[in-house]
Structure 1
Amino acid sequence: MTNPLLAPWNTPFELPPFAEIEDAHFAPAFDAALTEGRAKIAEIAGNPDAPTFANTIEALELGDETLGRVLGTFYGIAGADSNEAREALQREFAPKLSAYSSELTMNRDIRARIKALWEDQNALDDEQKRLLYLYNRNFIRSGADLEGDARDRLTDVKARLAILGTDFTQNLLADEREWFMELGADDLGGLPDFLKEAMKGAAEEQNVDGHVVTLSRSLIVPFLQFSTRRDLREVAYKAWAARGANGGETDNRGIAAETLALRHERAQLLGYKDFAAYKLETEMAGNADNVRDLLMQVWKPARAAALKDQAVLEAMMREDGINGDLQAWDWHHYSERRRKAEHDLDEAELKPYLQLEKMIEASFDCANRLFGLEFAPLDVPMYHEDVRAWEVTRNGKHIAVFIGDYFARGSKRSGAWCMAMRAQKKLGGDTAPHVVNVCNFAKPAPGAAALLSFDDARTLFHEFGHALHQMLSDVRYEAISGTSVARDFVELPSQLYEHWLSVPEVLSKYAVHAETGEAMPKELLDRLLAAQTYDMGFSTVEYVASALVDLAFHEGAPADDVMAKQAEVLEGIGMPAAIEMRHRTPQFAHVFSGDGYSSGYYSYMWSEVMDADAFEAFEEAGDPFDAKLAKSLEENILSAGGSQEADVLYKAFRGRMPDATALLKGRGLYAAE
């Protein structure tokens, strides 16, 4: 029988034929794609003609098209709708992919051809020179110039790291999927109706009568906010904090320690003092000192603000007759009550105005007003019944397919992310991207509206900002397409787009009550916007602490005991006792599920320095939808991908590089400095 992953896709916009694809198709398609890729590598390496950009670099760009198609489909599905078969395939594919990558980057003949091109670039245009630079750098950083035992050892290290990253992710998913806490009628004190409905739906998914709390962020965070049962909050919080550290087969602490040791060895094999030096060499920050300077510049006022808030929350706890220190499972609860008291802002009052459907419409409308994009629903098969798709056009021209997968389920890993199942490129014919946003919002009861918190709505806009970076990409080569940029630059478009959610005219149009259809009252809108920096000390502290631990993990000799190292770093910076890291080490998937954000979790804040400054440009223009600025943003950043260095792209848009002042002001921390 024909494997649908390998046959031509005669589907609308060449989308994967999800209805025809079965798990059994992936392994043979993957093996066939690897065989094809290896044949093309051999063809390029053995080409008797003198190396040219076309017969070497462009040939490499086109050599993995089948593999890219298979993997784009597989990992898109496996991350958002996992099962035992797909998890087994991930474990099988990880070392094979690592080996394939090493075969390419360690190929001496191809390395020689790239060196020859590097020495004579006169005939190349700017985009070709940029791509050649990136290929040359990637081969060097992958160990292409190593010899003997060091060369062989590096290949083994990379293969083992690929396995460890997959194991880390699957262990975390297993812990999140397996834990839940049943709640009886007496356990629902303080919980608003929207949360009870969501917990009832979660109970049905677990085949339990009544209500359950799971480790989905969309359930556990509001439970911690609203539950009046301190004992149950403690149980739920400790389960959330213990993910990946419960002992047994799913414990991630040993995996984290081995990962750090192997990364350090990898860096030293390549001539770097440690992994942070290796990783940060290609980022805007450049080195660990620059990262630490930014983080500590923000840490000091954030910690001061958090400690002031902690004193207020502890006083509230005393009024409830509870002695002892404020604990991590208390913070969300008392902070929510304080927000209600000080800002007259109640999550239960706010949520009916933040319907998922309306927030999707809002994100689309902003993209239309800024960039002229239009979105039309598509009736096409997807990989899960909850997933939807839209055709994206501009002036009648097809731009992309956008796919939205918004609801939490047991088969989906936690968090939110954006990926391109197919990236934009022009080499080999214009290819429009297929871009997916994945979130974990609580699924409503049948017929009811899906309601979001303001943080949920911000997440939706954030991921859609990444999607715009992919959809508006306009480059020749896939290797520099869309989000293929420095890690500490990639969050700029996503975090910048969050700002449009807070534009009053956007909320006044799309924040519509789910039952009455009435727009959010102006006084409620004003209260919402006034409270945007509320509890910012807490959120900044939990983030910066995670970023500092990540950095410390990758500087110097690796830690044998990762939890002891985590504790050492937190003690050294004076971490408030009532606040935990946003991502404790055993569940720090950003850092340990792969190399993406290792030594790079600071990237969100580095990008925030730019996004705060970039949105100031629109504020200075007096119009959040200023057409000239929107055009400049698209041309210089969103469409440019990695075609130039990140600082060059940013300065082309803004005229200069920013400092942290706008960030501190935006977080309400400037006065606390």
Structure 2
Amino acid sequence: MTDNPFFAPSTLPYGLPDFAAVREEHFVPAFERGMADHLAEVEAIAHDPEPPTFDNTLAALERSGRILHRVQTVFDTLAESDGSEGIWAIERELAPRLARHRDAITLHRPLWERIKRVTAGDPEEARLLERYRTDFVKAGADLTEDQQARLRELNGELAELSTEFAQNALRSATESALVVRDAAELDGLDEARIRAIEKDGEYVLPLLNSTVQPALAQLTDRATRERLYTLSAERAPENLPLAVRMTKLRAERAVLLGYPDHAAYKVADQTARTVDAVEERLGQLVGPAVRNALKEAEALAEQAGHAIEPWDWSFYTEKVRQARYDIDEDALRPFFELNRVYEDGVFHAAALLYGVTLTERDDLRGYHPDVRVWEVFDQDGAALGLFLLDPYARSTKRGGAWMHNLVEQSFLLDERPVVVNNLNITKPEAGPTLLTLDEVRTAFHEFGHALHGLFSSVRFPRLEGTNVPRDFVEYPSQVNEMWMFRPEILANYAGHHETGEPLPDDLVAKLTAAETFDQGFAMVEYLAAALLDWSWHRIGADEDVDPAEFEARALQRWGLDLDQIRPRYRTAYFLHIFAGDYHAGYYSYVWSQVFDAESVEWFTANGGPTRENGDRFRELVLARGGSVDPLDAFREFLGRDAEMGPLLRRKGLE
């Protein structure tokens, strides 16, 4: 296939993939050639007759596999954001082959022996060498031939199961959608939303990938809320045996590699380091979170006049919020129009802090008509890279919100970053896109990840931007959330989409006063998911597990078995851990929040969104990616280690 667009680098600005030239039939040939070329390059590196040096071994590995990298990046983007039956069939076919390919690299004995003899010439080289050695050891490079053979079998089966789990979960979002024929059952949703979900005389509300669905806060009909909640919480039962099988395979692999369980294996090269450290921190939060949640439940029951069920929580939370703080979430939405939130809010905050500007490039296209492209310029006018935004939900897109790279920054490869943010906002049938407060927060959060990628200033792609430990990667994005309520930023973007009226000052004050409201629920919902993940990955390979009973026992063990609050993600649709890389790592959100809360207090004490503060955070944290130990970077920024106090104060959990 001579016209395959993956066989040569893209000629578009910044190496943006030429999505218009990509067809489904290009993928398999590109993967096959990419894997073959990569293996040939690795063989040449491993058997180079010259003595091993950093440049002819590690730098050469960083340069290798470019065709494979290009096709993998585009394919994964489509599979997650704009998939099709053809794409998903290819994904099922290729998942075990790609797992075997990865094993062929990390279990290549001559290559490993060569890496062990390499020495580094500067701190960034030393960091890369450390990462390669850790990666190879954790991938099984020191195992015997028989052990490696079993490891290959485990990795191949896990790849197949993970793909099947993800595709089942994606289908369930549509197949388990709430379907009603009488619009009266949707009372409480705004008219634009109702029109957007009408199809052939029915109203179809697809599920987002979390237990609590946003519509539960608005739907006035309790029976409709119960139906929606039950559909969400009980979806994808076919994934439960897959989850059991995956956790047992991961447990066997961990023992094979010398660890007592998968959690210990995963956390060994994170900033937490040990299972005891994770359990101690999460355990410190459970008691205060549950106490707050139970107090909140009492207030909700008083408002409702009856006991609160899980499908009631969001609805009566809004009632109590309105009664206590006179805040109506629906009345806020006209002040948060999508374009203004980004251009006058998210981008404005980045301009204040870092001096960057973004210019929309209508001449460049993404992988879907909804995707928009901006060129990013530094304070001195130098071009930094591209930012792509894919804001809307669709049936071909997985739930949630995330950031990923289409091109990774690297001085070695002379590449500048191309970064994508994905959200899942319901697209209106017509008119402006008005966001909820939570969607505004998500916009700021995901752009924090984007800045981490855009500001990367490292030599090697393995160390760029967000290539940091999983329990540190959420830190910069969580810090970026703080700017949504800063007066000088909020006033710039929160204007009524019809009248231009600014968000009233008294409402701003009420929003600030309500920041700790419902934090007991939020923390319990999160901790239940984090500790469910953790519990699954502390089981043994031979443990007999019934998934429903296991989930109940795990929550009971940690004191999180509250009738009114279930985990943010239950086992059957916990994509982070069964189809992503957060397995035994979902704790990382609250782990990172400790760094985040400390940093928010530092910014507040030092004048807020000033260029001096932004430049310091960019230079010491964002630009360095994984080129330094992240804890060292944090200490240099803050001047000391992080403490729990700021997080407890923020959450109202002292």
Q: What TM-score results when the alignment is normalised by the length of structure 2?
A: 0.96
Question: How many Å separate the matches in 2 of 1:57 and 1:217?
Answer: 39
| Match 1:275 to one of 230, 247, 262 | 262
> 1:189 Cα deviation (Å)?
5.8
**Letter of the 1:581 counterpart:** P
Contact residue 273 and residue 556 of structure 1 kept, 8 A: no
| Match 1:403 to one of 380, 385, 388 | 388
User: 1:190/1:110 Cα in 2 relative to 1: closer, same or farther (>3 Å)?
Assistant: same
| Match 2:326 to one of 344, 352, 361 | 344
> 1:614 Cα deviation (Å)?
0.6
Question: How many Å separate the matches in 2 of 1:169 and 1:604?
Answer: 21
Match of 2:649 in 1: 665
> 1:389 Cα deviation (Å)?
0.5
Contact residue 183 and residue 203 of structure 2 kept, 8 A: no
Matches within 5 A, 1:39-78: 39-78=40-79
Question: How many Å separate the matches in 1 of 2:556 and 2:233?
Answer: 18
In the alignment, does 2:523 pair up with 1:553?
A: no
Match of 2:508 in 1: 525
SS in 2 for 1:599: coil
Question: How many Å separate the matches in 2 of 1:486 and 1:366?
Answer: 26
Question: How many Å separate the matches in 2 of 1:668 and 1:82?
Answer: 42
> 1:23 Cα deviation (Å)?
1.1
Deviations 1:434-461 (A, max 9, x none): 1000000111122x11011111110111
Match of 1:238 in 2: 230
Contact residue 217 and residue 314 of structure 2 kept, 8 A: yes
Match of 1:253 in 2: 240
> 1:209 Cα deviation (Å)?
2.5
> 1:72 Cα deviation (Å)?
1.0
Matches within 5 A, 1:214-229: 214-216=206-208, 221-229=213-221
**Letter of the 2:311 counterpart:** W
Question: How many Å separate the matches in 2 of 1:180 and 1:238?
Answer: 11
SS in 1 for 2:67: helix
User: 1:8/1:658 Cα in 2 relative to 1: closer, same or farther (>3 Å)?
Assistant: closer
Contact residue 424 and residue 470 of structure 1 kept, 8 A: yes
**Letter of the 1:253 counterpart:** L
Matches within 5 A, 1:271-420: 271-318=258-305, 322=306, 325-361=307-343, 362-379=345-362, 380-394=364-378, 395-420=380-405
> 1:405 Cα deviation (Å)?
0.1
> 1:348 Cα deviation (Å)?
1.2
> 1:659 Cα deviation (Å)?
1.2
| Match 1:208 to one of 186, 200, 214 | 200
In the alignment, does 2:70 pair up with 1:86?
A: no
**Letter of the 1:44 counterpart:** I
Deviations 1:565-624 (A, max 9, x none): 210021223322100100001111111113x11111110000000001011111111x21
SS in 2 for 1:109: helix
**Letter of the 1:138 counterpart:** D
> 1:243 Cα deviation (Å)?
2.0
> 1:218 Cα deviation (Å)?
10
Deviations 1:498-524 (A, max 9, x none): 011121221122101112111111111
Gaps spanning 5+ residues in structure 2: where? none
SS in 2 for 1:104: helix
Match of 1:588 in 2: 574
> 1:186 Cα deviation (Å)?
5.6
Contact residue 199 and residue 213 of structure 1 kept, 8 A: no
Aligned length: 647
Match of 1:143 in 2: 140
Deviations 1:272-314 (A, max 9, x none): 1111111110011111111111112111111001001111212
Deviations 1:153-176 (A, max 9, x none): 011111111111111111000100
| RMSD over equivalenced CA pairs, Å | 1.6
**Letter of the 2:387 counterpart:** F
Question: How many Å separate the matches in 2 of 1:627 and 1:391?
Answer: 21
SS in 1 for 2:421: strand
Contact residue 213 and residue 220 of structure 1 kept, 8 A: no
**Letter of the 2:296 counterpart:** D
Question: How many Å separate the matches in 1 of 2:125 and 2:211?
Answer: 48
Question: How many Å separate the matches in 2 of 1:148 and 1:410?
Answer: 44
Deviations 1:116-165 (A, max 9, x none): 11xxx3x6111111111111111111111111311100111111111111
Gaps spanning 5+ residues in structure 1: where? 246-250
Contact residue 199 and residue 212 of structure 1 kept, 8 A: no
Contact residue 508 and residue 525 of structure 1 kept, 8 A: no
Deviations 1:622-667 (A, max 9, x none): x211333211211111000111111111001111111111011111
User: 1:197/1:216 Cα in 2 relative to 1: closer, same or farther (>3 Å)?
Assistant: farther
Matches within 5 A, 1:44-193: 44-117=45-118, 121=119, 124-185=121-182, 187-188=184-185, 190-193=187-190
User: 1:217/1:168 Cα in 2 relative to 1: closer, same or farther (>3 Å)?
Assistant: closer
Matches within 5 A, 1:581-660: 581-594=567-580, 596-621=581-606, 623-660=607-644
Contact residue 209 and residue 573 of structure 2 kept, 8 A: no
Q: What TM-score results when the alignment is normalised by the length of structure 1?
A: 0.94
Question: How many Å separate the matches in 2 of 1:232 and 1:26?
Answer: 43
